[in-house]
Amino acid sequence: MSLSFASGVTSALATFGLFLLLTFFIILERRSFVRWFFGILPSDLGEYFHSRQQIISHAIHAWLRGQLLLALFMFVINFIGLWIASWFGLPVSNIFSLALIAGAMEFVPYLGPVISFVPAFLMVLVSPDVSLWAIVGVIGLYVLFQQLEGNIMVPLVMSKTTNLSSLYILVVTLVGAALGGPLGVLLAIPLASVLNIFYHDWMHYRRTIASS
């Protein structure tokens, strides 16, 4: 079981690292990449994508702002929650570092919450003041963090930043998880934002054709 967990963590981190690497090189060679992409498309389609370039870029930037807000939320809620819990006797230290890890792990789908939980759990486990209530407390606290993030903040923040409905975000995230695993979860919302642009353009085109 521990081997399977370690393999899953390694796979998720490798996927996330590859995503960051590809994103870095695409940004670095953005102009060349855009020219190449437009060049392989048929002329009419290339002109369409070129005309929508700024809107697509804005949608992706909106998603990134949402991710940063979620990371900030996880940092704040972890810091406040652990600080309050420490006043009630939960044996945790380095609260700022634990909260920082939780915020950073917001960018790692699936295993991010688990990775952020492990240091806090081990800290409680090896503490001289460890007790059953302390173990139950730290587990319950991190479950609460994850429930607030996954069920409330993700749909709320992403619906505000991307102008998509909360239900749509939930559905596309589940579909992304089913089709692409951790990478699918990470890319589901930005891809859905772009597809939403194409959908509205298509509906506008259909209405224009019908009225002419």
State the SS3 of 54-69: HHHHHHHHHHHHHHHH
CA 84, 88, 91, 93 dihedral sign is: positive
Q: What is the pLDDT along the chain (212 residues), one digit of tens a residue?
A: 444 444 544 555 555 565 555 555 555 555 555 555 555 555 566 566 667 777 877 888 888 888 889 889 999 999 999 999 999 888 888 899 999 989 888 877 667 788 889 889 988 888 888 888 888 999 999 999 988 887 788 888 888 888 878 777 778 888 887 887 767 777 788 888 888 887 877 887 777 777 76
User: What gap in Å lies between CA 188 and CA 174, rounded to an integer?
Assistant: 9
**pTM across the whole model:** 0.70
**What's phi and psi for 163, nearest 5 deg?**
60, 35
User: What gap in Å lies between CA 36 and CA 52, rounded to an integer?
Assistant: 16
